[in-house]
Structure 1
C-alpha cells in the first residue's frame, strides 16, 4: 500500500490519459525504481537547481502503458547523473516542527531537501496527506500562501511534481513535491499575490485575448532582454511588473466555472506553445513554454479532489493562468502562427506512425529526461478537455490540430539539432547537465 515513505503502484494507477492497460510486472518494477529514486536521490542534480525529473518521466511512461523493460532503461539512463540526498542533521527536522518561525528559517535552501522530505512524511503519517495539503497549502494564512506560491516557482516544477503525486495516488511523491517547493525561492509569490490583490472584479477577458494585448504592449513585450539570466524574474517582472499585473489580473475564475476555465487555460497554454514557431526554421518548442503545457494536465485531477474546496481549486487555477501569461511575455511575446499548426505535414507518412498510438509509441522509445513524452501526454489531455468547448472563441486549438501538434512534438525532438528552443541563460549549468548525461541521450 502506498504511504508517505512508500511507493506502490497498481494496475489501476495509470493516470487520466487512457491509452494502454498496464501489467503487474510494470507496476512492481516502476514502484521499485521510484522508491530507489525517492530514497537515494536529491530533487536537484546540481547546485544551479536543475530538477530531477525521474518521477515525472517514469509515471508518464507507466501511465501510457510502457513495458517494464522500457521504464527501467529510461530510469538507468537518467539515474546516472543524479546526486545523493542526505540529512544534514537529525535535529533539523525536529527544529522545523518546533514552530512556524523555526520552519521559515529553512525555506528556500536546497541543502535542506532531505530534511524537508522527512518533515513532510512525518506530518502525513500523523495527519494524512490531504489534511497536510489543506493545512500547509490551502489554509489561506501567511505560511500557506508562501508555500502555495512556491509551488509555482522553478518554472512550475513543484506543481508538476504535486500533480503526479495526486494523479497517481502516491503520498511519497506528494512529500517530494512539498520538499521541492519548500526549497525553492519565493519571488514568484510576490507576483501571484499582487495579481490576486489587483483582481477585484470578474472580467470577461479570455487568455487568448490577453495574449494578444500583451504582445501589443511594447513595454511589456520587450521587457525581457537576451542577456537576462532569468527572463521572467529579471526581465518581465523586473522591468514591467505593473503592466504584467494589470493584464494578468483581468483573467478571472468565478464559482461554477472551473471545468470551462480549466479547458480555457489548457487550450491557451498549448496554443501559445505550439504556435510560437519561427519559419522557415525547424519546428521546435520553447523549453519554458513547454512547462506551461506539462503542468496543465493535472488540473482535472485537482478539480476532482473531494477534500479540496472549490475556492482552493479556483485559486490553483488562477495562479496557473497568471504564470502562463507572464511566461508568454518573458520570451518577448512571439507572434502566434496558428497556420503553422493547421498546415503542418508530419514527417512520417504512415498512419500507424502519426496517430496517437504511433505518437505515444515513438515518445516511449525516445531517449531524453521525460520532457517530450510529458508534452505529448499533456497535448492529448488538451484534446480531451477542450472537446466540449470547440465552439468557444477562445478554443484556438481544435479538431485535427491535436494530432498535428502531437506529431510536431515527436518530429521536432527526433529532428537534428537541439531538442528544444532555448534562450540564453544558465549556459554553463546546462553544459554541465549535458556533460553528465550519457552521450547518446544528450539534449
Structure 2
C-alpha cells in the first residue's frame, strides 16, 4: 500500500473543504481559487511530513497557500506556490519501518515527541476530528487535564515548535529545540478556514513536538480565573518584564548563540518564579477574552516593529515576527472552544510565549514613538500613478492615499511565506483596531495613573499596523515592484546593545 493511499484512508471521513471565510477575505477570492486551494491543501496533508528537514524546519506550504488565498490571489498563482515549495518536502512516512507504527487510544502517549510517528498521528487524529468535530477534539486532546499530565503537556506542545535556520548548526537543536508556535499556527489555519484535515495535521504536529520550557506555564485545568481590579494589561506585564532586575540578560552577547541556549538561560528557579509571578498578574476570564486578544495583537506588533534603534536601519526579528503571524489565530481558536477554562488557558499560554520570546531575544524594549515615526502610507518604489484631472483627489497626495491595495497586491508574490502571513495579520488588525485614537489602546497608561506604560504610548494609535506593514514591505522587499526579496529576517538577537555595534546588513 502506498504512502498516499495510507493517508487517504486516514482522511476518508474527514472534510478537507474550507467551510469558513478567512479573517481578511480580500476581493479576488473565487470559486476557482477556493477549489484550487482545497485540492492543494489535501495533497500536502496526505503526502508531506510537517518537517521538511529532520532538525525541525517546518513545512509552511499550507500556511503560504491559505494566506495568499485569503488575500485574493489566483488559482494559477496558488499552483505556482505549491510547485515551488512541494519539491523540498519530505514524505509523510519517513522510512518504510515507520509505516508499521500504529497510534491508538492506549499507546499514543508513548509516541509523543517522535517525528517518525507523524503519519500515524495524522491518521489517529483524523479519526478523532472526524468523530468529534474540531472544537471537541481540541478540548479533549489539547486542553483536557488528562492530556496535560504525566509529561504529555499537549497544550505546551501546541505552543512550542522546533525551528532552526538552514545556516545554523541544526543537529545541536534536537535535544532542546527553540519554539515558534508552529503547531498552534497549523491548527489555527484549520479552525479559521474550517478545514478539519488541517486541524488533524496540527494535532499530529503538536504531538511530535518537544515541549519548550513547560515549567514557565502557569495554567489551571480545574478552575476559571476570574478577572479582578488588580489585573494588569499585556503592556503593563511587558513593563514589569523590562523593570525586573532578575530578568536582565546575564549572558554576554554572542551572535552565534543557539536560541535554545538563550531559552535555557531563563530556566533557573529564580527566573522561573519571576516569570510565573509576572504572568500571574494577567487575569483572564474565559467568558470574554476579546480585550485580552486585542492587547496581545498590539503587543506582538510592537515587539516586532517597534524594537529598532533610533538613527539606525530598521531590523525585524525572525522570532518576534512569529508573535504577529500567530496572534491572528487566537480569535478563531477561541470561537471553537466551549470550555471557559480552555479559553483562559489558551490566552494565558500565549502571554507566556510573548514573555519568553522577548527574554530570549535579549529583552528588546518597545519604542512606540519610533514605530509612529514610520509612514502610515508606505508606497512601492515604482508606482506609475498618473491620476486624470477629472479624479476627485489624488493618490499622489499622502492625505488621499490608502497604502493597503498596493501592499496586498505586492505581498502575495513574495517568496517568503512569513512576509505574507505577517502582512495578513496586520491587515486584519487594521480592520479591527485601526480606528483606535491616540492613547486609547488598552494598557497605554498604567492602571489608575496618567503615566505611560511605555514611552510613547500616549501618542500611539491604530495606525501602528499600517506603519508596521509598510516597514515590513520596505525591509523584506516590494518584489512585484522590482525589489529583490531579502533572504532572511534579522537573527542578531537585537535586544542586546552589542547586537547593534554594526549594521546587520
Q: TM-score, normalised by structure 2?
A: 0.75
2:299 maps to what in 1? 268
Moved more, 80-89 or 147-156: 80-89
- Correspondence for 2:331: 300
Counterpart position of 1:365: 413
SS state of the match for residue 305, structure 2?
A: helix
CA–CA distance in structure 2, aligned partners of residues 22 and 61 of structure 1: 10
Match of 1:374 among 418, 421, 432: 421
Counterpart CA distance in 2 for 1:196 and 1:274 is 34
2:380 to 337, 340, 348: 348
Q: Which structure is larger by alpha-carbon Rg, 1 or 2?
A: 2
The reply to whether residue 141 of structure 1 matches residue 149 of structure 2 is no
Structure 1, residues 133-189: CA drift from partner, whole Å, max 9, x if none? 221122222447711221000111100111100001111100000000000012333
Deviation at 1:62, TM superposition (A): 0.6
3-state secondary structure, aligned to 1:290: helix
Aligned match of 2:231: 204
Distance in 1, matches of 2:353 and 2:32, equals 39
Correspondence for 2:463: 400
Structure 2 counterpart of 1:79: 86
User: What is the alpha-carbon distance in structure 1 between the residues aligned to residue 359 and residue 221 of structure 2?
Assistant: 18
**Equivalent residues of 1:195, 1:322 under 8 A apart:** no
How far 1:89 moved relative to its partner? 4.6
Q: Which residue of 2 aligns with 1:412?
A: 475
Contact conserved, 1:294 with 1:378, CA < 8 A, in 2?
Answer: yes
Correspondence for 1:172 among 193, 197, 205: 197
Unaligned regions of 5+ residues in structure 1, if any? 425-443
How many angstroms apart in 2 are the aligned matches of 1:354 and 1:420? 26
Give 1:364 shift. 0.5
Instruction: Please list the CA deviations of residues 286-325 of structure 1 after superposition, one character each: whole Å capped at 9, or x if unmatched.
Output: 10011111111012212333x5222211211111112111
Separation in 1 of the partners of 2:21 and 2:233? 32
Aligned to 1:105: 110
Q: How do residues 157-236 of structure 1 correspond to structure 2 at under 5 angstroms?
A: 157-193=182-218, 202=228, 203-223=230-250, 226=254, 227-231=257-261, 233-236=263-266
Secondary structure of the residue that 2:303 maps to in structure 1? helix
After superposition, the Cα gap between the structure-2 partners of 1:399 and 1:137, relative to the gap in structure 1 and judged at 3 Å, is: closer
- Contact conserved, 2:227 with 2:284, CA < 8 A, in 1? no
Residue 187 of structure 1: SS of its match in structure 2?
coil
State how far apart, in whole Å, the 1-side matches of 2:258 and 2:98 are. Answer: 37
Cα distance in structure 1, aligned partners of 2:349 and 2:84: 34
Using structure 1 for the length normalisation, give the TM-score. Answer: 0.85
**Structure 1, residues 273-293: CA drift from partner, whole Å, max 9, x if none?**
110113444323110011111
Aligned residue for 1:290?
321
| Structure 1 residue 122: Cα displacement | 1.9
Higher relative contact order (CA 8 A, sep 6+): 1
Please point out which of 10, 17, 26 is paired with 1:8: 17
Contact 1:282–1:412 at 8 Å: present in 2 too? no
Partner in structure 2 of residue 335 of structure 1 = 365
Following TM superposition, by how much is the alpha carbon of 1:22 offset from its aligned partner in structure 2, in angstroms? 1.1
Partner SS state of residue 267, structure 2: helix
Change (3 A) 1:208 1:130: closer
CA contact (8 A) 1:16 1:167 kept: yes
Contact map agreement 1:6 1:35 (CA 8 A) in 2: no
Q: CA deviation at 1:14?
A: 3.4
* Residues in 1 aligned to 2:181 and 2:21: alpha-carbon distance in whole angstroms: 22
Superposed CA offset, 1:248-275 (max 9, x none): 2221213544111111111111112110
Equivalent-residue separation in structure 2 for 1:249 and 1:3 (angstroms): 44
In structure 2, C-alpha distance between the alignment counterparts of 1:285 and 1:378, rounded to whole Å: 15
**Residue 55 of structure 1: how far off its partner (Å):** 0.7
Unaligned runs of 5+ in 2: 1-10, 162-179, 384-394, 445-456, 478-482, 494-505
* Whole-angstrom distance in 2 between the partners of 1:53 and 1:277: 27
Does residue 320 of the first structure (1) align with residue 350 of the second (2)?
yes
- SS of the equivalent of 1:422 reads coil
Give the structure with the larger helix fraction.
1
- C-alpha distance after superposition, 1:218-243 (max 9, x if no partner): 44130466324415531233583222
1:88 and 1:115 in contact (8 A); partners too: no
Q: Decide whether aligned partners of structure 1 residues 153 and 388 sit closer, same or farther in structure 2, where only a CA change above 3 A counts.
A: same
SS at match of 1:45: strand
Q: CA RMSD in A?
A: 2.8
The C-alpha deviation readout for 1:78-123, integer Å capped at 9, x for no partner, is 1121111117455532xx3141xx2211001111111110111122
CA gap of 1:201–1:6, structure 2 versus 1, over 3 A, is closer
